[in-house]
Chain A
Amino acid sequence: MKATNKIRRTIFQQGLSFISTIALALLLGFAMLWLNGSAPKDVLAAAGSSTFASSFRFANMVSRMITIVLVSLAAAIPFKAGVWNIGGDGQLAMGGFFAALVGVYVTGLPPVMHIGLAVIAGMIGGALWATIPAYVRLKFKANEIVTTIMMNYLAALVTGYLVNYPFRAPGSANAETSLVQESAVLTQMVPLSNLSTGLYIVIVMFILICFLDWKTSWGYEWRVLGSNDEFARYGGVKDNRMRFLSMLIGGALAGLAGTILVLGSYHKFILNMGGGIGFTGVLIAIIAANSPILILIVSAIFAILSNSTVGLEARLGVATEFSSILQSVIILLVITRSNIWAGITKLLKRR
């Protein structure tokens, strides 16, 4: 009984320091904007209204959030097993492209089957793109930080070729495919917003991942591998196979993120539609310590942040790029939060 109380207290303390560190980072953000000449009151009003003023804006935030959740999980699952997957961007692009192919060129299916097929194609596309770095990492010990990043650049070039030449929408001035068939479109949930019924797919997938993580032997084996691979091997965990699997699942999740962007938000594949969100996913996975629940919380905060900067730009002339700076600052502070709070308590005690 006492032991569980103690565990509960540490979890509470961890949570408290996590939340208060993020609050600290946000205060720092306000301070930075203040120095730049925007009063905190205006910042708060502009930021708040850009997410919470209408259901349309809120829906766009949720749409952004589900993409972030997926790419974060895509990094977190391999992380658990002790492999870095920084290739979320490439996997998202390939997944989105595969889904678009099925969406555009497969005809005559009822919506449920068409969407199902496109989703599967998208997840396979993402997983395939993760196969190469996973294979060379496990077979040849090729550093996966380097290879997954190279795969991102390759994915941008490969899809760039595909949508500029063979699959370019006829008559389009942009590098994009044609619109997907109506039967492959995920229904809009809020008029004019980016949020589609893809939300439900993500919720199901999220629950599935939580289940995998907490209730199955896979989840256990990943955790053992990530924390102590010597012990894991000794205990009979097939380490390479589990790591490979974790990369494939990661790739499939990033592919799903691309799929939902294609079927739900844009209804076509657009070159570089991910906009480097995969990196954000890696960072979130790091600070959320790969916990799905924390990933959910941090993704919400990041989605609100990136939404808010749209309002800040329109009203106060702060460039939207500010949000990526603030996000990185949050991450640096959260990674080192125990040192920061120890330092602050020391300062207070000295008084």
Chain B
Amino acid sequence: METLVEFLRASIRLTTPLLLAALGGAYMQVAGVPNIGMEGMMLIAALVGYIVSFTTGSWVMGLVFGVLAAVFVGLIYAFFVLRLKADIFAIGITLNILMGGVAAYIIRQYYDQISMLLSPDAKLLPAVSLPFLADNKILNVLFNNYTILVPISFLLVLVTFIVFYKTPFGFWLRAAGSNQLAVSASGKSINGIRLAAFVISSAFCGLAGVHLSLGYLGMFALSLVAGRGFVALAIVLFGSGNPITVLIASLIFGIADAASLRIPTEVIPPQFPLMLPYIITILAITLMSRFARSFTSTEQK
């Protein structure tokens, strides 16, 4: 029982970065502009958040500047795609590589590190608890003492659902993706709506990145994101950006991630469990593509 609860707890912690990024990806997906740059946005937010945290000694500053860094990348992305009409896939992939280069350059040039940053001065995200659950042992382990972005990420599912389906903004957002003619006819600017989607989406990825460095690991590493941006993209594609499907898919991947880290390495070599999330992504996207409205990138060109 105890190990099961521990395992579920680990799953929830690992769900958060995927959930945050995928929810962000959903905003752009429903607006008809798939976010291919999530990997890079997460990485740069993780780095900037960590650096600001240990230079200012404040996790709030780290969180704010991490998110701002990701939004900055999102604005560059939007500028190239919306203003210069460049291919969204090409720019997204380029930005991912650019951010990888920028992150590697910064830690090498300014901190003389090759692959990671670890500072004792870093203030990590605080943990939060609901005191009335503390009495029950199992509930306490399962629901308490998470770093602050974990409960927030689950709250944001609800927020995103309301925004998408209960607000005018969500209506226009979805219209920009599915019925552009109607949007232009009503005098709204598609680019304006999509710009908002870029900003929100990158901010969510920023939260995901900061959670990885300041919440989950407590350090920064170049391999920290490890494809999560693309796993998040897969999650978004499953449900065509529906926040509830995103939540379910993120939980499945969170469980796979947790399982991959908890299979004892004495039994099998460590590489095999680590393959799990990637194999599940391929399997899932293969099976789901049969049902979901899949976007086929290159046929649009």
Count of A-B residue pairs with CB < 8 Å: 154
A82 to chain B: which residues have CB within 8 Å? 298-299, 301
A136 lies within 8 A of chain B by Cβ: yes
Does A328 lie within 8 Å of B84, measured CB to CB?
no
Interface of chain B: mostly helix, strand, loop or mixed: helix
A132 to chain B: which residues have CB within 8 Å? 282
Nearest 6 A-B pairs (CB), nearest first? Answer: A324-B101, A328-B98, A319-B108, A161-B271, A321-B105, A321-B104
Does A335 lie within 8 Å of B294, measured CB to CB?
no
Does B296 lie within 8 Å of A153, measured CB to CB?
no
Nearest CB of A to B208, in Å: 17
Does B93 lie within 8 Å of A335, measured CB to CB?
no
Q: Which of A160-204 contact B (CB under 8 A)?
A: 160-161, 164-165
Q: Fill in one digit per residue for B68-98: 1 if any A CB lies within 8 Å of its CB, else 0.
A: 0000000000001000111101110111111
CB-defined A-B contacts under 8 Å, sample of 8: A143-B233, A145-B36, A147-B285, A154-B278, A164-B271, A283-B93, A322-B101, A325-B98
Does B97 lie within 8 Å of A324, measured CB to CB?
yes
Does A145 lie within 8 Å of B89, measured CB to CB?
yes
Knowing that A143-B289, A324-B100 touch, tell me 16 more A-B residue pairs with CB under 8 angstroms. Answer: A82-B299, A84-B298, A140-B286, A140-B289, A142-B289, A143-B297, A145-B93, A151-B282, A157-B271, A157-B272, A158-B275, A286-B90, A328-B95, A335-B94, A336-B80, A339-B85
B272 to chain A: which residues have CB within 8 Å? 157, 161
Complex alpha-carbon distance, A163 and B116, angstroms: 24
Nearest CB of A to B30, in Å: 17
B85 to chain A: which residues have CB within 8 Å? 339
* B101, B234, B290, most chain A CB atoms within 10 A: B101
Does A149 lie within 8 Å of B109, measured CB to CB?
no
B230 lies within 8 A of chain A by Cβ: yes
B224 lies within 8 A of chain A by Cβ: no
Does B296 lie within 8 Å of A143, measured CB to CB?
yes
B183 lies within 8 A of chain A by Cβ: no
Number of A interface residues, CB 8 Å?
52
Does A142 lie within 8 Å of B299, measured CB to CB?
no
Q: Fill in one digit per residue for B261-294: 1 if any A CB lies within 8 Å of its CB, else 0.
A: 0000000010110110011011001110110001
Complex alpha-carbon distance, A322 and B231, angstroms: 28
Does A331 lie within 8 Å of B94, measured CB to CB?
yes
Complex alpha-carbon distance, A169 and B227, angstroms: 29
A344 lies within 8 A of chain B by Cβ: no
A136 to chain B: which residues have CB within 8 Å? 282, 285-286, 289
Q: Which of B194-251 contact A (CB under 8 A)?
A: 226-227, 230-231, 233-234, 237
Complex alpha-carbon distance, A320 and B114, angstroms: 11
Does A140 lie within 8 Å of B91, measured CB to CB?
no
Nearest CB of B to A21, in Å: 13
Q: Which of A313-331 contact B (CB under 8 A)?
A: 318-325, 327-329, 331
Does B91 lie within 8 Å of A332, measured CB to CB?
yes
Nearest-neighbor residue (CB-CB) of A331 within chain B: B94
Complex alpha-carbon distance, A208 and B31, angstroms: 43
Q: A83-B298, A145-B297, A165-B269 known; A335 and B98 CB under 8 Å? A: no
A118 lies within 8 A of chain B by Cβ: no
Nearest-neighbor residue (CB-CB) of A86 within chain B: B93
Does B105 lie within 8 Å of A142, measured CB to CB?
no
Nearest-neighbor residue (CB-CB) of A282 within chain B: B93
